[in-house]
Amino acid sequence: MSDVPISEHALLSDCRSAALVTNGGSVDWLCLPRFDSPPILSRLLDHSAGHFLIAPAAAGWTSTWRYLPHSLVLETTWSGPDGELVVTDAMALGRRERGHQVGHGSPGVLLRQAHCTRGSVPTRVEYVPRPEFGLIHPRFDRSDRAVVTYGGSHVLTLSTDLDLDLQNDAATALVTLTSGEKLAFALEQSSAWEPKPAPWRERKIRRRLTSTEKSWRSWSKLHQHYDGPLRDLVNRSGIVLRGLTFAPSGAMVAAATTSIPEGVGTGRTWDYRFTWVRDASMTMQGLFIAACPDEAKSFFSFLARSAATQLDRGLDLQIMFGIGGERDLTEREVPQLTGWRDSSPVRAGNGAWSQRQLDVYGSLLDAAYVLREQLGDMDEHTRMFLVASVDAAASRWHEDDQGIWEIRGPARPFLHSKLMCWVALDRGLSMVEQLRCEDRTADWTATREQIRHAIQSQGWSDEAGAFSQSFGSTDLDASVLLMAVVGFLPADDPRLLSTIDAVERALRDESGLLYRYRGDDGIDAPEGTFLLCTFWLAEALARTDQVDRARTVLVRAARCATGLGLLAEQVADDGQLLGNFPQAFSHLGLVNAAQALADAQRRAAGAGLAV
């Protein structure tokens, strides 16, 4: 079993794949060449499923870690009375890759460097690859300046000048480094039928680490202009969101991992290494990409290509795709892994791909509207795709679905889904000239008003004193807070203000964080509070000019970030982080809530109010 707390992991990314490193110096998760590839190191999900450790060999050393400024290059410093060891980790970006091109030329290589900066440090190296979710125990061979492993369809090459001891299916070493001495490693994967890649020399590893840091800084310089509350955490979130983007297609994964549970032993273990249309659409708005038209166009072109003729054939828009545009994401269990803290099953694929979720149309059109200047004169396929999405919302808004939370039970008339169909029509009407579909104006306007009337008449619960989770229900749901965000009602509407208060009272835990909902969702097991929902509360309060309350809620949720500024999906009663990590939606929620608070503070200052 693996039981390292989620908070004690750091993300590495090359905008194609990802690794997680523990604060104990072990790479416990690594997928190559893509985020959704079977991992070659997965001790995160089972103690015997592969890792790559570099750390002091004896006890008594203390460690601190940080990301180098404006990057995803990790630096861990081990200190003790006899010396100091600095380990630098990164997923290599392309050579001299800068700005918007970050990730497009990534070679698919994990880089690690250990540098003794003072005294002497006995250092332990353990390289234990276990490809295909730990199923393969490869054969080790020694090569010039490298250790090569064979097994399955791929070959792994670990470049290093260190003389590793090869024992069965592991490579280890115990070496004492003295001041100024370094060890360098480069791990890459290649197909078994291709020639072995040339080993990376130590000088090349060192140079590429420096270049990768510069690449990340160049991206940050172009993208990060936020100046407001929690600035450092907002900027870190922007880098994380970019790190969760698959650069070749523009798709964004919901998280870097699979099967970290939403509650220990609950069975709530899902694979998040895919792109959800809703999540990615909303995240595009949080990336501060005002100067980056290429990224917006790339994302919408990806969706248009992936969906292709679905809407034309009368099908629902698929809610999620593989990061290369794949549609079939059939879910399967991985029986050889016990799961994080024995929380099985471990899953690959996600059965939600075939669900109906009508809110995707609104998320998609809202993002297109926000990014309309970047999209400019869009290509014909993208234009037709967006028009078809509005038409789909107009024709299907009254139907039931599984909703934003992917309820694994009977379909329901979820209010959030109706609300986002209204958003699709509202934003489509605001873009009719750009979409070149003026002939639809009358029909779209009439349908938009039908949805508005239905939400106000059927979505309001006198008993709850709030807009409810679904038509005719008294249950509350945090997703209804988005009514304050999308402009459905004026900020001073009494029903909106009452809904915000009711949701906070009903869904808040003792620490002040919000659950998504309370009630049956088809799985008889509890889960933690949902960070995104708490950020939604902060944003709703800010947008209704409740500045002090918004600030309190935002700071409370932000305290759940790790020391490296990473956010998980959920938080347990004892404060432990839960769910796949790091979670894009949580980082997006932080960004949007902080921006909303900054805007509310400016409005208050302009009105002469104390902030």
474-499: pLDDT as tens digits: 999 999 999 999 999 999 999 999 99
Q: Indicate left, alpha or beta for 134 from its phi (over 0: left) and psi (-120 to 50: alpha).
A: left
Average pLDDT over the chain, rounded to whole?
A: 91
Query: What pTM was estimated for this model as a whole?
Result: 0.94
Return the C-alpha torsion angle 597, 598, 599, 603, nearest 10: 100
The distance of Cα 309 from the centroid of its chain, to the nearest Å, equals 28
Q: Give the pLDDT score at 223.
A: 73
Percent of the chain with pLDDT over 90: 72
Q: Lowest mean pLDDT: which of 89-93, 220-224, 266-270, 425-429?
A: 220-224
Alpha helices in 347-412 (DSSP H): 360-370, 372-375, 380-396
The residue among 197 and 257 whose pLDDT is bigger is 257
Q: Give the pLDDT score at 291.
A: 40
CA distance 464 to 471: 13
Radius of gyration of the chain, Cα coordinates, nearest whole angstrom: 25
What does the pLDDT look like over 357-413, one tens digit per residue?
899 899 888 888 888 887 778 788 888 889 999 999 999 999 999 989 877 678 899
What does the pLDDT look like over 69-97, one tens digit per residue?
999 999 999 999 899 999 999 999 998 88
CA distance 594 to 580: 23
The residue among 564 and 351 whose pLDDT is bigger is 564
Q: Answer whether 323's CB lies under 8 Å from 246's CB.
A: yes
pLDDT at 290 > cutoff 50: no
Q: Give the pLDDT score at 53.
A: 98
Please enumerate in sequence order all residues whose Cβ is within 8 A of that of 592, keeping only pairs 6 or more positions apart, or say none: 285, 286, 485, 535, 539
Looking up tokens 């592991």 gives: 170
Distances (CA, A) of 389 to 361, 362, 383, 425, 535: 6, 9, 10, 9, 28
Q: Lowest mean pLDDT: which of 41-45, 95-99, 300-304, 553-557?
A: 300-304
Q: Answer whether 74's CB lies under 8 Å from 88's CB.
A: yes
Please enumerate in sequence order all residues whose Cβ is within 8 A of that of 372, keeping only pairs 6 or more positions apart, or say none: 431, 434
What does the pLDDT look like over 181-194, one tens digit per residue?
999 999 999 988 88
pLDDT at 448 > cutoff 70: yes
Give the relative orientation of helices 360-370 and 415-430 as an angle to the nearest 10 degrees: 30
Largest CA distance in the chain: 77
Looking up tokens 């990409």 gives: 289
- 157: which DSSP letter? E
Q: Give the pLDDT score at 172.
A: 96
